[in-house]
Amino acid sequence: MEQQRIHEHPVLDVPVKEDVKFYWNNESLTAKVGEVISSALMANGIKTFGHHHKDGTAQGIFCANGQCAKCTVIANGIPVKSCMTVVQENMIVKPAEGLPEMPISEERPNLSPVEQLTAEVLIIGGGPAGLSAAIELGKRNIKTLIIDDKNELGGKLVLQTHKFFGSVEDSHAGTRGNDIGKLLAKEVGELDAVDVWLNSTAIYVFSDKKVGILKDGVYKIVEPKLILNAAGAREKYLRFNGNTLTGIYGAGAFQTLVNRDLVKPTERLFIIGGGNVGLIAGYHALQAGIEVVGLVEAMPKCGG
């Protein structure tokens, strides 16, 4: 079956990437190098990743951003968020049917001492908020560590191929969101006082304010004088009957698929809501070569 991918785009480069073989329900499929499981499944036309343990509803992507766990699958025997887990060669991926069980491991747990570090300021989240804070702190030579659970800085900006509005001075209006992300990340990279950890998830803030971080799969503890939580917000949309069906996405997940991973989740799109985000989703769809069949708005005119 031909994969559902975007081969040309008016704004984004479409890089040529090598294939990686993996298995879904014993069927051999291919992903692209560095691609997360959810996008690889979507590119192969698979939208249902399992069923909910309570009511049996189909589960697939919701946020595509690591914030909800609706996309859980079993990868090499372990339950993972498929939108946060990169496909490995020959990975065996299975749907999560009901509540997944952790495997019983024969291996002895790794009891080597946990590395403990200190920082003046720890910023959790490398989106525009975290990056802007890091720039201000770095300019004042305040030792700062900024961490992000993704493999690049920018947060939601990475997903946005449209030109931003607002003020040029304060928020780079007129520049495309993904380019703003690169500008801020470059500025941060030039500051000696700021250290950046990618693929690093803050998983716990203890009562003594030490923070447990999983960095590239290795657990570390950071003891900052100050914690700045810039982990962004979780997407939310109005509920209606059937809104959990696979094939219905939030705008953030749609942006992740078409603008970050260059996956075409559909040939035809219908949009609910004519605010900024709904209209921009239509624009992103057109860039991706997706037909926008319509948009519905409750108000007498679109507010976007």
284 is a contact residue toward ligand FAD (CB under 6 A): no
CB-based contact 197:152 (threshold 8 Å): no
128 is a contact residue toward ligand FAD (CB under 6 A): yes
Rounded Cα gap, residues 97 and 25, in angstroms: 12
Among 58, 69, 142, 183, binds ligand FES (CB under 6 A): 69
Q: Total number of residues binding ligand FES (CB under 6 A)? A: 12
Q: Total number of residues binding ligand FAD (CB under 6 A)? A: 28
Q: Would you call 14 exposed, middle or buried from its count of C-beta atoms within 10 A (0-12, 13-18, 19+)?
A: exposed
**Which one of ligand FAD, ligand FES, none interacts with residue 62, CB within 5 to 8 A by kind?**
ligand FES
Rounded Cα gap, residues 266 and 128, in angstroms: 29
70: β partners: none
214 is a contact residue toward ligand FES (CB under 6 A): no
Nearer to ligand FES, 32 or 47 (CB): 47
Nearer to ligand FAD, 6 or 147 (CB): 147
Q: Which two tokens stand for residue 214?
A: 């999983």
Rounded Cα gap, residues 122 and 230, in angstroms: 10
**Which one of ligand FES, ligand FAD, none interacts with residue 232, CB within 5 to 8 A by kind?**
ligand FAD
37 is a contact residue toward ligand FAD (CB under 6 A): no
156 is a contact residue toward ligand FAD (CB under 6 A): yes
256 is a contact residue toward ligand FAD (CB under 6 A): no
214: β partners: 201, 219
Count of other CB atoms within 10 angstroms of residue 21: 13
Rounded Cα gap, residues 34 and 98, in angstroms: 28
Strands (DSSP E) along 198-252, which ranges? 200-205, 211-215, 218-229
142 is a contact residue toward ligand FES (CB under 6 A): no
230 is a contact residue toward ligand FAD (CB under 6 A): yes
Show Cβ contacts of residue 207 under 8 Å, excluding neighbours closer than 6 positions. none
**Which one of ligand FES, ligand FAD, none interacts with residue 63, CB within 5 to 8 A by kind?**
ligand FES
Show Cβ contacts of residue 10 under 8 Å, excluding neighbours closer than 6 positions. 287
231 is a contact residue toward ligand FAD (CB under 6 A): yes
Rounded Cα gap, residues 93 and 78, in angstroms: 9
Among 6, 42, 80, 81, binds ligand FES (CB under 6 A): 81
Q: Which stretch binds ligand FES (CB under 6 A): 62-70, 106-114, 119-127, 270-278?
A: 62-70
The binding site for ligand FAD (CB under 6 A) comprises 124-130, 147-150, 155-157, 160, 164, 201-202, 230-232, 235, 251-252, 255, 276-277, 280
